[in-house]
């Protein structure tokens, strides 16, 4: 209780001397005539009657602060003020009315008051609270250090600068520096040590307890500035301030504030104000020694003395001793005791009990307005802010949760099972739990269930004999009870309590609600918890089939594509089957249809049939949004013709029907005899030459060269092996010669016209002359000739590599220019024939092929994206608890500037894990348990916050070493 006005002081003295208030919490009285502004409607946020509902209590406190705040931008805090608002973001000293006065706010309470807003915002993310939080920070900066210059103000703008939502941290951090610099240049002291001595002398003899309480936050300011701006002497100054306190409290006896001396002899009648604010003094010493890391060996004894000032109901007295029968319970003293105990985590058993008791008393003492009122209706906004901060700390340390979670998280298909686990999630200071009663209801398309579908997971049974029972209430709800029998410290860890098995039986959402609960500690006292139900979806309808499956051959690979709109689809599953020889796993390569036991696989009607078929094998899957898949092979022995089916599969694992048509492709280039990925002269064309014009009856026959014709005449088609190596095979070799890139498979275009002439060059010398027209890649010229024949290449053959061979002793010329898209270009002679027999054009059988292997008409004479997340999402880290590494995943439906930060339990920034622009999609970040300076952090609870555009979310995680 910071008594800043004479009226406040007199009020406390009257109450203390006259005994106007009964023992117990002082703030549960009615307003006693206090005026409520007609502009305001006080919300009923707090669950009164349950003093352990610290989250609601903190939210009620934050709302109270927001409604009493002076706006900066008109009514941006939602308090309804339009005329007399001083627009400075601050608060009045004291008030009986739930409005801000027409005067400017005092200059040294904004930060202390607004800290309650900020601590509540850290766990709630409430936008209205953030507006008030920013109002306060902007007010401190705008009014400047000549008007706003307390340590709490400097700490507040430093904390605000650490928020991910702060767009200009340097601006607010500079304000904290300005506050300190102003103190050093415009006062009676010039350094930190002199400032601490000045505070000591100023506060004595009237308020000795406020000496360390005032010095400690300045020491914390300097330690924070040291971390931001090392090398400027801030840290040394903080240590100097701590030494002033140590000297006064320990080296000088009795000292102005001697924690083990005169102050412990405080007069409970308050007749001697020399002994006032003892508990605040102890809290200040603990805070100062803790933040400066000096004299930390003294903190345990100070903590013990602080706990001696606590009443059985949890309140801390304004003086030492918590005298029985005397009511000097103090809002501010209790709030700062809670904060001091928290700052020294991990808790000892006694400190934990003291912390919990203080928070619970504050929650019970809180008025329905969210504030902390005295008997005549006066309330102090600064104390409201300090108490709200303590309540927020209480929620972060003691706010347990009962929650349900399905596995799998869904959706599930009809007939599939989801196991819903009901868990108890405690915080570091949550008291032990002896027993629970939980009432739940399930709605949606699931089979009927009964008591036998519940299973105790033994969380309480592990503590001793327990009694677990499930009751069917007959109205669609079930109540689950469990309790430990006999003496027990209670459940002190997160635990899974029981499961419920549910089976889907129709399309639609399933909701699992926790309707109510009872939790009891070992003494049968209530324990508060949030209730978090769950839900999942049952999906019995398969997606529509895909369409337009296309399989394209490559070297040791088949590229598969398809079309689909992606609706009701999570992944596409790809199945393959071989053109096989008797055994579905044995390829019929290279002869295929020539083998007597060759089999073409039977198409499956749907994914489930493919899954059990001996002919079909799962090849892989891709996420929805991607409509392409590469099936990779590694060995020459894998060669074959592969058939492909693609099925759309939804999140419930329902697979679609088969596509209207499937497709097939080789996983090698036709003509690549040795399997190196190229059709080249030194191996493949030479092999073709060696076996050209042979059949299986010939010793030189090579089945690897029997690649033509293909089913679509293209170089990418399926070989229709004909047991003869001839011009058809040459054309496939020619078109695939020197293949080094992928050409999409397409339907060949019809052949076009080419003009040629049969020219007599000399007696017995003839030429096949190309006159123009469509490009020509292959030439097959035959004629019955009774005389000897000599054949040579013409002048057009010199433009690139050409396969040229006349089979036998007659005229059977097979000629092709080699390469994808290669052709005989221009006008000139393709070949020259010398023979004594007369030859006319009518004697010739001529076949010309284009670059797509289509016959040309001869006239003589003149070629899918990853589905984006539909919404923002910050997932629970995994593992949790962790040591020391954990992974944080989040989803962005669009590109955003993203900041992912880790905070300590008291709201201080520990580490910035991410501060950059990220694209739409799923992302993950690993935290190794280190702060921004690279130091490993201590065990405990931490918060991680994601801020991305309009989205902000906070989750808790626990580092356990």
Mean pLDDT to the nearest integer, 98-121? 92
Strand pairing category for 857-860 and 753-762: parallel
In sequence order, which residues have a C-beta less than 8 Å from that of residue 921 and are 6 or more positions away? 866, 868, 869, 891, 892
pLDDT tens for each residue of 605-632: 999 999 999 999 999 999 999 999 999 9
Mean pLDDT (whole number) for 807-812: 87
Q: Is the pLDDT of residue 44 over 50?
A: no
Q: Which residues pair with 951 in a beta bridge?
A: 948
Which of 192-196, 317-321, 387-391 comes out lowest in average pLDDT? 317-321
Give dist(CA 756, CA 771) in Å, integer.
5
Chain segment 395-440, per-residue pLDDT in tens: 888 878 899 999 998 799 999 999 999 999 988 778 889 999 999 9
- In whole angstroms, what is the distance from residue 228 CA to residue 225 CA? 5
Q: Give the mean pLDDT of 725-747.
A: 75
What's the rounded Cα separation, in Å, for the pair 332 and 49? Answer: 22
DSSP strands (E only) in 583-691: 583-587, 598-599, 617-623, 628-632, 641-649, 663-666
Q: Which helix (H) or strand (E) holds 739?
A: none
Average pLDDT (881-902) is 91
Chain position carrying tokens 């598969």: 560
Q: What is the mean pLDDT of residues 436-465?
A: 96
List, in order, residues 6 or more apart from 317 with CB less than 8 Å away: 278, 279, 309, 310, 311, 323, 328, 329, 330, 333
DSSP-derived pairing of the beta strands 909-918 and 921-927: unpaired
Interior/surface letters 467-493, b for 16+ CB within 10 angstroms, e for the rest: ebebeeeeeeebbbebbbeeebebbee
Residues 209-236 have a mean pLDDT of 96
Of 94-103, 203-212, 258-267, 825-834, the least confident: 258-267
Residue 756 structure tokens: 């040629």
User: Longest Cα pair distance anywhere in the chain, in angstroms?
Assistant: 144
830 in Cβ contact with 770 (< 8 Å): yes
β-partners of residue 617 are: 576
- The structure tokens 């065990």 sit at 939
Q: What is the pLDDT of residues 912-930, one digit of tens each?
A: 999 998 877 788 899 999 9
Assess whether pLDDT exceeds 90 at residue 9.
Answer: no
- Give the pLDDT confidence of 742-757 residue by residue, as tens digits: 444 544 445 588 888 8
| Residues 621, 431: Cα–Cα separation, whole Å | 48
Within 700-815, where are the H helices? 727-736
SS3 content of the chain, % helix, strand, coil (to 5): 30, 30, 45
Q: What is the pLDDT of residue 6?
A: 22
Helix or strand or coil: residue 227?
helix
DSSP 265-284: G--TT---GGGTTHHHHHHH
Give dist(CA 190, CA 936) in Å, integer.
36
Distance, CA of 329 to CA of 313 (rounded, Å): 10
**What does the CA dihedral 105, 111, 113, 115 come to, rounded to 10 degrees?**
150
Q: Given a cut of 50, is residue 941 above it in pLDDT?
A: yes
- What are 45-97's pLDDT values in tens digits? 444 445 567 888 899 899 999 989 998 887 777 777 776 778 899 999 999 88
Question: How confident is the model over 305-329, as a mean pLDDT?
Answer: 87
Instruction: Give mean pLDDT, residues 659-684.
Output: 92
Q: Provide the token pair at 554.
A: 């490559």
């Amino acid at each position: 209780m910071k008594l800043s006005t004479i009226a406040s002081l007199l009020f406390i003295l009257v109450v203390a001397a006259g005994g106007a208030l009964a023992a117990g919490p002082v703030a549960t009285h009615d307003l006693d005539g206090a005026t409520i502004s007609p502009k305001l409607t006080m919300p009923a946020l707090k669950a009164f009657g349950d003093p352990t509902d610290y989250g609601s209590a903190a939210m009620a406190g934050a709302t109270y602060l927001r409604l009493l705040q002076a706006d900066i931008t008109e009514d941006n805090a939602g308090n309804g003020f339009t005329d007399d608002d001083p627009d400075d973001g601050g608060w009045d000293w004291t008030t009986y009315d739930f409005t801000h006065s027409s005067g400017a706010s005092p200059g040294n309470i904004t930060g202390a008051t607004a800290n309650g807003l900020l601590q509540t915002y850290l766990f709630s993310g409430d936008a209205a609270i953030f507006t008030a939080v920013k109002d306060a920070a902007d007010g401190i900066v705008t009014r400047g250090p000549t008007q706003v210059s307390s340590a709490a103000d400097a700490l507040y703008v430093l904390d605000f600068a650490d928020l991910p939502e702060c767009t200009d941290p340097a601006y607010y951090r500079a304000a904290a520096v300005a506050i300190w610099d102003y103190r050093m240049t415009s006062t009676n002291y010039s350094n930190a040590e002199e400032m601490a001595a000045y505070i000591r002398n100023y506060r004595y003899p009237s308020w000795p307890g406020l000496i360390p309480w005032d010095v400690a936050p300045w020491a914390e300011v300097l330690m924070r500035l040291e971390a931001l701006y090392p090398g400027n002497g801030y840290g040394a100054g903080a240590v100097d301030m701590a030494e002033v306190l140590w000297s006064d409290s320990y080296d000088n006896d009795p000292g102005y504030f001697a924690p083990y001396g005169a102050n412990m002899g405080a007069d409970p009648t308050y007749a001697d104000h020399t002994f006032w604010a003892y508990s605040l003094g102890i809290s200040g010493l603990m805070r100062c020694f803790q933040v400066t890391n000096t004299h930390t060996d003294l903190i345990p004894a100070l903590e013990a003395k602080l706990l001696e000032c606590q009443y059985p109901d949890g309140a801390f007295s304004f003086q030492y001793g918590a005298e029985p029968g005397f009511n000097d319970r103090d809002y501010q003293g209790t709030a700062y005791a809670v904060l001091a105990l928290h700052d020294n985590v991990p808790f000892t058993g006694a400190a934990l009990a003291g912390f919990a008791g203080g928070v619970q008393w504050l929650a019970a003492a809180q008025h329905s307005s969210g504030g902390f009122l005295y008997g005549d209706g006066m309330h102090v906004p600064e104390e409201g802010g300090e108490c709200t901060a303590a309540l927020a700390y209480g929620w972060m340390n003691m706010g347990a949760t009962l929650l349900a979670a399905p596995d799998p998280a869904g959706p599930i298909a009809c007939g599939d099972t989801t196991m819903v686990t009901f868990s108890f999630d405690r915080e570091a200071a949550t008291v032990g739990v002896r027993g629970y009663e939980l009432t739940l209801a399930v709605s949606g398309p699931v089979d009927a269930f009964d008591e036998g579908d519940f299973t105790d997971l033994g969380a309480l049974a592990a503590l001793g004999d327990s009694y677990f029972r499930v009751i069917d209430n007959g109205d669609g709800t079930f109540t689950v009870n469990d309790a430990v029998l006999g003496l027990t410290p209670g459940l002190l860890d997160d635990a899974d309590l029981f499961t419920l098995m549910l089976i889907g039986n129709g399309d639609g959402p399933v909701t699992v609600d926790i309707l109510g609960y009872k939790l009891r500690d070992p003494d049968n006292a209530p324990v508060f918890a949030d209730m978090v139900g769950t839900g999942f979806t049952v999906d019995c309808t398969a997606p529509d089939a895909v369409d337009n499956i296309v399989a394209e051959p490559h070297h040791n690979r088949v590229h598969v594509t398809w079309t689909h709109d992606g609706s009701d689809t999570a992944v596409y599953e790809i199945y393959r089957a071989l053109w096989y020889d008797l055994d579905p796993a044995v390829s019929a390569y290279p002869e295929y249809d020539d083998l007597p036991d060759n089999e073409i696989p039977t198409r499956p009607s749907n994914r489930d049939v493919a899954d059990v078929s001996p002919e079909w094998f799962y090849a892989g899957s891709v996420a929805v949004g991607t409509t392409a898949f590469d099936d990779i092979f590694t060995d020459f022995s894998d060669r074959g013709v592969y058939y492909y089916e693609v099925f759309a599969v939804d999140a419930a694992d329902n697979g679609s029907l088969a596509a209207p048509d499937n497709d097939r492709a080789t996983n090698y280039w036709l003509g690549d005899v040795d399997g190196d990925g190229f059709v080249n002269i030194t191996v493949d064309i030479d092999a073709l030459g060696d076996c050209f014009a042979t059949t299986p009856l010939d010793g030189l026959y090579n089945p690897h060269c029997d690649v033509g014709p293909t089913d679509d005449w293209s170089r990418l088609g399926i070989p229709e092996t004909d047991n003869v190596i001839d011009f058809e095979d040459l054309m496939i070799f020619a078109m695939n010669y020197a293949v080094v890139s992928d050409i999409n498979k397409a339907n060949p275009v019809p052949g076009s016209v080419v003009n040629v002439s049969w020219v007599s060059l000399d007696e017995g010398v003839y030429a096949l002359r190309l006159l123009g027209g469509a490009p020509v890649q292959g030439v097959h010229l035959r004629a019955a000739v009774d005389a000897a024949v000599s054949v040579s290449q013409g002048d057009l053959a010199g433009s690139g590599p050409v396969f040229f061979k006349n089979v036998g002793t007659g005229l059977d010329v097979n000629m092709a220019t080699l390469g994808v898209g290669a052709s005989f270009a221009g006008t000139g002679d393709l070949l020259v024939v010398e023979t004594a027999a007369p030859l006319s054009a009518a004697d010739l059988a001529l076949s010309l092929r284009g670059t797509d292997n289509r016959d040309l008409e001869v006239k003589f004479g003149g070629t899918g994206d990853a589905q984006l997340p539909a919404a923002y999402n910050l997932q629970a880290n995994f593992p949790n608890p962790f040591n020391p590494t954990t992974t944080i995943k989040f989803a962005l439906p669009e590109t955003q500037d993203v900041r992912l930060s880790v905070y300590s339990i008291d709201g201080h920034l520990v580490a910035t894990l991410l501060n950059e622009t990220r694209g739409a999609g799923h992302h993950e970040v690993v935290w190794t348990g280190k702060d921004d300076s690279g130091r490993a952090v201590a065990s405990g609870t931490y918060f991680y916050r994601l801020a991305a555009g309009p989205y902000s979310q906070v989750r808790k995680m626990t580092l356990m070493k």
